[in-house]
């Protein structure tokens, strides 16, 4: 039985380690799990990621950003995600298209309807079965990023931008409480880890 779950949220919410914990726990529970991340996840997508993250690309327009994220995603879906789901596996992805809607749509105010159409084309209509939103206040998230030392071009946008991103995520989650589950990522990560695993296992047993 295939299942596609994504982790989303603003900077510093611990998505990457939570995605890894979740993938490991599901593997131990005997699911055939593939862990991936965006932007990246294939060799071609990693090359696109390097262009997106390069600190010198300060003049990149948000529409270029969106199209590069979408191009990277198109490759990841067709080369990795779709084949694994077609084999009946579970895919855990650290970010997916809702990141583009939150950052380029809500954050940079690109037209959400246009983004939806391009996303539909890029992903061949593949939506996640479950979206886990690791929500936390912008100040805490950016502080964690700074002390973590992996600062990139996109982290450097102004604070109001990150605020719009957070609000955008919350708006999407509140509009569709069936597919989205929101967690308080300012809590200790082991508490969040348990909550995530319980919800995913419950959803897997329902499907």
Q: Which residues bind ligand TYD (CB under 6 A)?
A: 11, 15-16, 38-39, 69, 95, 99-100, 103-104, 150, 152, 154-155
d(C-alpha 175, C-alpha 185), whole Å: 20
Whose Cβ is closer to ligand TYD: residue 31's or residue 74's? 74
Q: Is the dihedral of CA 80, 81, 86, 88 positive or negative?
A: positive
Q: Is 34 helix (H, G, I), strand (E, B) or coil?
A: strand
b/e per residue, 167-180, with b = 16+ CB within 10 A?
A: ebbbebbeeeeeeb
Whose Cβ is closer to ligand TYD: residue 42's or residue 99's? 99
The number of CA neighbours under 13 Å toward the Cβ of 14 is 21
Tokens of 40: 């990246």
| Of residues 21, 27, 12, the one with CA closest to residue 190 | 21
d(C-alpha 132, C-alpha 7), whole Å: 5
Residue 118 CB, shortest distance to ligand TYD, in Å, is 11
Whose Cβ is closer to ligand TYD: residue 161's or residue 204's? 161
Whose Cβ is closer to ligand TYD: residue 11's or residue 135's? 11
Whose Cβ is closer to ligand TYD: residue 154's or residue 199's? 154
The number of CA neighbours under 13 Å toward the Cβ of 49 is 14
When CB distances to ligand TYD are compared, the closest residue is 103
Residue 174 CB, shortest distance to ligand TYD, in Å, is 20
Residue 194 CB, shortest distance to ligand TYD, in Å, is 21
Residue 89 CB, shortest distance to ligand TYD, in Å, is 21
Residue 38 CB, shortest distance to ligand TYD, in Å, is 4
């Amino acid at each position: 039985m295939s299942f596609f779950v994504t982790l989303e949220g603003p900077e510093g919410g611990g998505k990457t380690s939570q995605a890894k914990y979740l993938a490991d726990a599901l593997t131990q529970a005997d699911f055939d799990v593939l862990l991936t991340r965006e932007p990246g996840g294939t060799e071609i997508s990693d090359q696109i990621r390097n262009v997106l993250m390069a600190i010198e690309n300060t003049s990149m327009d948000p529409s270029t950003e969106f199209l590069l994220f979408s191009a990277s995603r198109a490759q990841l879906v067709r080369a990795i995600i779709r084949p694994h789901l077609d084999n009946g596996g579970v895919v855990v992805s650290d970010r997916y298209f809702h990141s583009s809607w939150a950052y380029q749509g809500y954050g940079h105010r690109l037209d959400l309807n246009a983004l939806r159409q391009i996303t539909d084309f890029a992903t061949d209509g593949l939506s996640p079965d479950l979206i886990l939103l690791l929500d936390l206040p912008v100040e805490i998230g950016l502080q964690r990023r700074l002390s973590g030392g992996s600062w990139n071009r996109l982290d450097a946008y102004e604070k109001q931008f990150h605020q719009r991103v957070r609000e955008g995520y919350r708006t999407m989650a509140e509009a569709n409480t069936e597919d989205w589950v929101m967690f308080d990522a300012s809590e200790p990560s082991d508490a969040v880890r348990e909550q995530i695993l319980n919800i995913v296992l419950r959803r897997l047993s329902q499907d």
